[in-house]
Chains A and B, each alone.
Chain A
């Protein structure tokens, strides 16, 4: 099973993670952040350098960000981080962003299945 690091917005993704409780896969490292708009490109790459096989960014649904455009910014930075991965000769699929509300348990589970985490 691959080890992944998930940057979770405290207003959405992190709430989903909390609601999963004990059924949360143990190979996912959670990084709670106030808004995904706070995430830097180099922060995502640093996790990969430090051994994460994949980085997942869990942001609020588009057009529903507490800080208005944080999730849109995160999407652009994820795209930039993917560019850097390509530059380095790695797969851009190592970094992924998903938009979900605090209630989207089923969606997060499906993402984990797709990513081979559970």
Chain B
């Protein structure tokens, strides 16, 4: 899923500025699961804004709504009236949802309440960790299913570097596991250390971000 976390409150408030009718729009998919921008989080943000406004004698109306996804157009119809009413939309979706919301409601200002972080997994309750950077040409089969691009701090395809100590990465030895230690351990466990004997050639990054904004067309699904 896409993992995000909420921006600091003051930043959100400054983006809202003088808008007096504010729609806080949650997303019911990834950011609900990572507890950053679902229904509960819209309520918490709304409550905090109302308390702050009351303290500062600001009169402002807030509405909260959460749609199934903000990355598919059809779900926005449910909030069309709220959007019409609002001066500004505070989207609690990932960066994709924020932009798409603006593409659907072209005459509205849409601002992001979250910082979108990465594609990751829930490693324990309340803890999410990065697993993939969407390089566009998956090479997991060469590395025992552990991504050297996402999980090595330097995205080395022929690792490890000299900074690997006790299974941890020199970039942050307290918190970041060395991706290459993980790859080695996994390859040993599945009996495929032979694969690591091969030197990996340069990767073609044009399938990734370096090739510019990407798109996928699935012909049999188009209308």
Interface residues of A (CB under 8 A from B): 40-42, 45-46, 48-49, 84-85, 87-90
Contact = CB atoms under 8 A, between A and B. Distances in A.
B43 A90 contact: no
Contacts of B54: 49
A115 to B, nearest CB: 20
Interface residues of B, number: 14
Contacts of A85: 51
B55 A89 contact: yes
Contacts of A42: 40, 43-44, 47
Contact of B51 (A40, A41, A88): A88
A45 B48 contact: yes
B52 A88 contact: yes
A42 B45 CA distance: 8
Which secondary structure characterizes the binding site on chain A?
A: helix
B54 to A, nearest CB: 8
Nearest to B47: A45
A87 B8 CA distance: 9
B51 A90 contact: yes
Nearest to A86: B9
Interface of B: 9-10, 40, 43-44, 47-52, 54-56
Contact of B52 (A40, A41, A46, A87): A87
Nearest to B48: A84
27 contacts: A40-B43, A41-B40, A41-B44, A42-B40, A42-B44, A42-B47, A45-B48, A45-B51, A46-B47, A49-B47, A49-B51, A84-B9, A84-B47, A84-B48, A84-B51, A87-B9, A87-B10, A87-B48, A87-B52, A88-B48, A88-B51, A88-B52, A88-B55, A89-B55, A89-B56, A90-B51, A90-B55
B24 to A, nearest CB: 12
Contacts of A89: 52, 55-56
Contacts of A48: 51
A85 B56 CA distance: 13
B129 to A, nearest CB: 20
Contacts of B55: 88-90
A85 B50 CA distance: 11
Nearest to B52: A88
What 3 pairs across the A-B complex have the smallest Cβ distances?
Answer: A87-B9, A88-B51, A88-B52
Contact of A40 (B40, B48, B49, B56): B40
Contacts of B44: 41-42, 45, 84
Nearest to A44: B47
A108 to B, nearest CB: 27
Most B-side CB within 10 Å, residue of A85, A88, A89: A88
